[in-house]
């Protein structure tokens, strides 16, 4: 059973469709879990229906209409009756339903209760004449492959798929922690017999996922600890003098983070530390101190920035604080030759493609916004075969995504973590959600503000060009033309990733030098841009950004003692989006914002940001502290078993999330 083609119901076309779902092997198919279930075992009476809830109803069809509108749309409307009342059913563009649905048919329907023409309606419900008393799995699908067909394929091959499964957990562990056997869990997840047993199966599979991540982190840390640095650093008194002479005092968090990093740098084992901190918490100065200590020891440092704009910004910052030290900028446009051995190189990804030019005494690497570099790129420095002279340098990775403690303790066990939890003394950015009818007043306020203060404004749009499908979402090019008519008295420029580098540099320089009043841009300025005179951040189509991105963008202002503002503009946001924007209005703590996103949007964004290349989570969620705690106890128990191969626990199941309706 080595290929999909050997399975029942899978031909060449179906195999292609499965591949689009990243299903390439029989095991991939087995671990392609439903993302939710329709529970036809729990029936709701029509009189008890509540809007925005998922329900299942047993009843009889008493009407059906296939309707074609004047605009060419196709609707299917039906009416269902039970002994307590009637409910409307509505589908879009499914005319084939007229062949299977007829008056008097007794059916079970499951779907979400909504409103259509001010009447309670089940919108696009799942309907079955044979599902009563069953729990139907709903799978992630692709074009030409429905959930029902996918379920049929899996069930037809389930016995065969399960035959190769080996449960790595010893029987004693299963018994001690009251866990369902792995085969039974996998059978139950695809073919549930009851909600109770489904929940037990899900718990077992969630634990498997957490164990996979814990095993991966353990393996990474063990591997790192076997390495040794070619260059040994020593503490230098000049570093303390430098800190005392800074034009500001380091916060308590910065002092602790620097102590932790310095202690790492003085060891012979490569430092592998992650520095997590909110926007404006002062991560760059910690990295700069590491580069300076490395310079004092006569070695090279490499600072990797995710964008050219940010690389240029860091060059200016480093030269400001270290004016007598050789600092070079490396991009795809230039190459470095015959450079000093104790140079600080600030670079984009370009450094990874020309290491032979400077990797001869590289002892310290900083990776800024580490999630924007691929796993192979981040691990590049630990594979000496690439150049023949890489020497396992110390590495500091940084992220402006504040990491909740649960996440850090669980998924990042292979990293030593420093957290900047206290911010420099800055005024919070006043944040306001601006509904459509208030946008004109907002523009008037901006005009007055710029005239009176001579301060500058960012306008951020999600897209560079207009979208054919998301017509309500603002684009830089269109909004730039629109804003020129609204603010004719001001100098406007626009910035996005497709603009040539030399032109980008000039645009940024003009903005820094106050030649431009308003900069219309994409989120390309989300990370690292530091322009103290820019005091207003206007975010167009704010409901199309994640909360963490909005917080990052807001962090581009409020970087001086001047009062700063953030305005969140959007057209007809949903209630969920309004709640998110309202939360951002009231909160400025990045850790609280990250935890809010974790609870309300799930771990997907935050998890993928930090965990490129790690075993992924399919059923488990990072905020499931109880299951996580059990998983950690199990991991410690099996770690103590002589000869137990922890690496066999490392798997890469598909990314989905399960709910039961």
The pLDDT, as a whole number, for residue 604 is: 43
Contact in structure between 209 and 617 (CB atoms under 8 Å): yes
Same fold, 237-420 and 430-587: yes
Helix (H, G, I), strand (E, B) or coil at 75: strand
pLDDT digits (tens, 9 = 90+) for 260-313: 999 999 998 888 888 888 777 889 999 999 999 999 999 999 998 887 778 888
Contact 270, 220 (CB under 8 A): no
Q: Which fold has domain 42-132?
A: OB fold (Dihydrolipoamide Acetyltransferase, E2P) (2.40.50)
How deeply is 260 buried, as exposed, middle or buried, from its count of CB atoms within 10 A (0-12, 13-18, 19+)? middle
Averaged over 321-349, what is the pLDDT?
83
Residue 11: the pLDDT is 92
Residue 359: what pLDDT?
61
The mean-pLDDT minimum among 171-185, 328-342, 533-547 falls in 328-342
Sheet harboring 659-660: ordered strands across? 135-138, 36-39, 659-660
Yes or no: say if 419 and 277 are a contact pair by the CB < 8 Å rule.
Answer: yes
End-to-end CA distance of the chain: 34
Beta-bridge mates of residue 126: 110
Pull the structure tokens for residue 583. Answer: 């939360």
What is the C-alpha to C-alpha distance for residues 122 and 46, in angstroms, rounded to an integer?
11
Asked if pLDDT for residue 609 goes beyond 70, the answer is: no
pLDDT tens-digit map of 314-323: 898 999 999 9
Residue 426 makes CB contacts below 8 A (sequence gap 6+) with: 280, 558, 559, 560, 561
All residues at 6 or more sequence positions from 490 whose CB lies less than 8 Å from its CB, including other chains: 450, 517, 518
Structure confidence at residue 470 (pLDDT): 74
Greater pLDDT, 381 or 82: 82
Q: Are strands 74-82 and 54-68 parallel, antiparallel or unpaired?
A: antiparallel
b/e sequence 101-123, b meaning 16+ C-beta within 10 Å: beeebebbbbbebbeeeeebbbe
Residues 185/174, Cβ–Cβ less than 8 Å: no
Quick count: other Cβ atoms within 10 Å of Cβ 238?
Answer: 12
- Give me the architecture of the 237-420 domain, per CATH: 3-Layer(aba) Sandwich (3.40)
Counting other chains too, the contacts that 220-225 makes at CB distance below 8 Å and 24 or more residues apart are 220/414, 221/272, 221/413, 221/414, 221/415, 224/269, 224/270, 224/272, 224/382, 224/414, 225/269
d(CA 113, CA 90) in angstroms, rounded, equals 11
Least confident piece of the model among 201-205, 215-219, 242-246: 215-219
Predicted pLDDT at 607: 42
pLDDT band at 650 (very low <50, low <70, confident <90, very high): confident
At residue 378, the pLDDT reads 46
Task: Say how many C-beta atoms besides its own lie within 10 A of residue 134's C-beta.
Answer: 16
User: Cα separation of 652 and 628, whole Å?
Assistant: 18
Is the pLDDT confidence value at 397 over 90? Answer: no
Confidence at residue 92, expressed as pLDDT on a 0 to 100 scale: 86
Other CB atoms within a 10 A radius of the CB of residue 355 amount to 18
Q: What pLDDT, on a 0 to 100 scale, did the predictor assign at position 411?
A: 56
Most confident of 284-298, 338-352, 536-550: 284-298
Q: How far apart are CA 88 and CA 388, in angstroms?
A: 71
Give the pLDDT of residue 78: 94
Mean pLDDT of 626-648: 89
**Whole-angstrom Cα distance, residue 75 to residue 317?**
60
Provide the pLDDT for residue 189: 96
Residue with tokens 């050219």: 308
Segment 390-405 shows an average pLDDT of: 75
> What is the rounded distance in angstroms from the CA atom of residue 363 to the CA atom of residue 344?
11
- Read off the pLDDT band of 646 (50, 70, 90): confident
Lowest mean pLDDT among 59-68, 186-195, 383-392, 439-448: 383-392
Task: Indicate the range of 195-209, 257-271, 370-384 predicted with least confidence.
Answer: 370-384
Question: Is the confidence at residue 377, as pLDDT, over 50?
Answer: no
Residue 408 pLDDT > 70, yes or no? Answer: no
> How far is residue 432 CA from its own chain's centroid?
25
How high is the pLDDT of residue 220?
Answer: 75
Q: What average pLDDT is seen over the chain?
A: 84
* Banded pLDDT at 96 (limits 50, 70, 90): confident
β-pairing verdict for 119-128 and 85-92: parallel
β strands within 209-361, DSSP E: 272-277, 300-304, 327-330, 344-347
Q: What is the mean pLDDT of residues 355-368?
A: 76
- Show Cβ contacts of residue 159 under 8 Å, excluding neighbours closer than 6 positions: none
Q: Do 650 and 613 form a contact (C-beta atoms < 8 A)?
A: no
Q: What does the DSSP 8-state code read for residue 429?
A: P
More confident residue, 606 or 60: 60
pLDDT for 561: 81
Asked if the model's pLDDT at residue 100 lies above 80, the reply is yes
Instruction: Indicate the range of 129-138, 470-479, 651-660 predicted with least confidence.
Output: 651-660
Q: What is the DSSP string of 479-524?
A: HHHHHHHH-TTS-EEEE-TTS-HHHHHHHHHHHHTT--SEEEE-GG
How many Cα atoms are found within 13 Å in the side-chain-facing hemisphere of 47?
Answer: 4
CA–CA distances in Å: residue 62 to residues 59, 90, 117, 123: 9, 14, 20, 17
What integer pLDDT is reported at residue 112 of this predicted model?
84
The answer, yes or no, to whether residue 132 has pLDDT greater than 70, is: no
Instruction: Give the pLDDT confidence score for residue 339 in this predicted structure.
Output: 74
Out of 216-220, 608-612, 633-637, give the one with best mean pLDDT. 633-637
Residue pair 9/28 in contact by the 8 Å Cβ criterion: no
| pLDDT higher at 220 or 181 | 181
Which run of H or E residues covers position 14? Answer: helix 12-20
Residue-wise pLDDT for 31-73, tens only, equals 999 988 888 788 899 999 998 887 889 999 999 998 887 766 7
CA distances from 78 to 86, 105, 128, 235 (A): 10, 12, 14, 78
- Top-level CATH class of 430-587? alpha beta
Query: Which range in 180-194, 469-483, 521-535 is most confidently predicted, on average pLDDT?
Result: 180-194
User: What are the DSSP calls for 344-357, one per residue?
Assistant: EEEESGGGGG-GGG
- Mean local confidence (pLDDT), 630-644: 91
Residue 375 pLDDT class (50, 70, 90 cuts): very low
Which pLDDT value is given to residue 99? 87
What SS3 class is residue 328? strand
pLDDT tier for residue 87 given thresholds of 50, 70 and 90: very high
DSSP 607-650: HHHH-TTSPPPSS--TT-HHHHHHHHHHHHHHHTSTT--GGGG-
Strands 119-128 and 106-116 come out as antiparallel
Place of tokens 């007809």: 572
Both tokens assigned to 627:
């299951």
Of residues 331 and 212, more confidence is placed in: 212
Residue 515 reports pLDDT greater than 90: yes
pLDDT digits (tens, 9 = 90+) for 140-176: 888 889 888 999 999 999 999 999 899 999 999 999 9
Ranking 83-97, 164-178, 346-360 by mean pLDDT, the lowest is 346-360
Residue 376 has pLDDT above 50, yes or no: no
Looking up tokens 């005239």, which residue turns up? 451
Question: What are the sequence ranges of the domains in the chain?
Answer: 1-39+140-164, 42-132, 237-420, 430-587
Structure tokens at 75: 């609707």
Exposed, middle or buried: residue 422 (CB in 10 Å: 0-12, 13-18, 19+)? Answer: middle
> Is the model more confident about 501 or about 243?
243
Average pLDDT over residues 363-387: 58
Residue 413 is predicted with a pLDDT of: 60
Q: How confident is the model at residue 579, as a pLDDT? A: 86
Q: How confident is the model at residue 332 (pLDDT cuts 50, 70, 90)?
A: confident
């Amino acid at each position: 059973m080595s290929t999909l083609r050997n399975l029942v119901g899978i031909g060449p076309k179906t195999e292609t469709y499965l591949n689009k779902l990243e299903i390439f092997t029989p095991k991939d198919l087995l671990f392609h879990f439903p993302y939710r279930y329709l529970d036809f075992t729990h029936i709701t009476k029509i009189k008890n229906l509540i809007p925005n809830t998922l329900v299942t109803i047993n009843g009889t069809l008493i009407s059906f209409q296939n309707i074609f509108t004047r605009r060419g749309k196709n609707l299917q409307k039906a009416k269902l009756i039970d002994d307590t009342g009637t409910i409307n059913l509505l589908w879009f563009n499914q005319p084939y339903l007229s062949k299977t649905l007829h008056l008097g048919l007794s059916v079970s329907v499951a779907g979400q209760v909504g409103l259509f023409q001010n009447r309670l309606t089940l919108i696009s419900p799942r309907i079955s004449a044979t599902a009563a008393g069953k729990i139907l799995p709903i799978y992630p699908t692709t074009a030409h492959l429905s959930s029902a067909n996918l379920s049929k394929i899996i069930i037809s091959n389930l016995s065969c798929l399960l035959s190769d499964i080996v449960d790595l957990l010893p029987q004693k562990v299963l018994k001690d922690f009251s866990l369902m056997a792995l085969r039974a869990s996998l059978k139950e997840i695809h073919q549930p017999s009851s909600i109770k047993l489904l929940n037990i199966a899900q718990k077992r599979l969630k634990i498997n996922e957490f164990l996979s991540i814990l095993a991966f982190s353990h393996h990474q840390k063990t591997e790192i600890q076997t390495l040794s640095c070619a260059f040994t650093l020593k503490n230098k008194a000049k570093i303390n003098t430098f800190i005392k002479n800074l034009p500001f005092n380091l916060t308590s968090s910065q002092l602790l983070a620097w102590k932790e990093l310095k202690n790492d740098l003085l060891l012979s084992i490569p430092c592998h530390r992650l520095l997590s901190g909110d926007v404006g918490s002062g991560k760059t100065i910690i990295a700069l101190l590491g580069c300076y200590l490395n310079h004092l020891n006569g070695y090279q440092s490499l600072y990797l920035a995710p964008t050219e704009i940010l690389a240029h910004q860091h060059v200016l910052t480093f030269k400001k604080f270290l004016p007598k030290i050789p600092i070079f900028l490396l991009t795809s446009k230039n190459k470095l030759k015959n450079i000093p051995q104790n140079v600080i190189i600030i670079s984009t990804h370009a450094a990874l493609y020309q290491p032979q030019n400077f990797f001869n005494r590289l002892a310290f690497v900083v990776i800024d916004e580490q999630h924007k570099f691929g796993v192979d790129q981040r691990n590049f420095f630990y594979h000496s075969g690439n150049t023949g002279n890489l020497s396992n340098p110390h590495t500091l990775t940084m992220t402006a995504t504040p990491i909740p403690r649960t996440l850090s303790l669980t998924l990042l066990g292979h990293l030593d973590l420093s957290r900047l939890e206290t911010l420099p003394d800055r005024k919070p950015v006043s944040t306001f959600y601006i509904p459509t009818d208030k946008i004109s007043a907002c523009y008037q306020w901006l005009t007055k503000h710029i005239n009176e203060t001579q301060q500058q404004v960012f306008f951020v749009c999600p897209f560079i060009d207009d979208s054919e499908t998301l017509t309500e979402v603002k684009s830089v090019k269109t909004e730039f033309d629109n804003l020129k008519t609204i603010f004719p008295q001001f100098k406007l420029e626009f910035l996005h990733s497709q603009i040539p580098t030399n032109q980008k540099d000039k645009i940024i320089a003009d903005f820094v030098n106050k030649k431009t009043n308003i900069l219309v841009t994409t989120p390309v300025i989300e990370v690292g841009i530091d322009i103290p005179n820019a005091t207003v951040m206007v975010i167009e189509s704010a409901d199309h950004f994640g909360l963490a991105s909005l917080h990052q963008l807001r962090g581009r202002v409020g970087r001086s003692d001047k009062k700063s503002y953030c305005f969140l503009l959007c057209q007809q946001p949903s209630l969920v989006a309004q709640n998110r924007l309202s939360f951002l209005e009231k909160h400025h703590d990045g850790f609280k914002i990250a935890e809010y996103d974790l609870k309300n949007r799930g771990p997907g964004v935050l998890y993928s940001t930090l965990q490129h290349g790690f075993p992924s989570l399919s059923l488990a969620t990072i905020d499931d502290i109880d299951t996580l705690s059990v998983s950690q106890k199990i991991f410690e128990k099996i770690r103590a078993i002589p000869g137990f191969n922890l690496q066999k626990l490392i798997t890469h199941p598909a990314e989905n999330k399960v709910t039961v309706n």
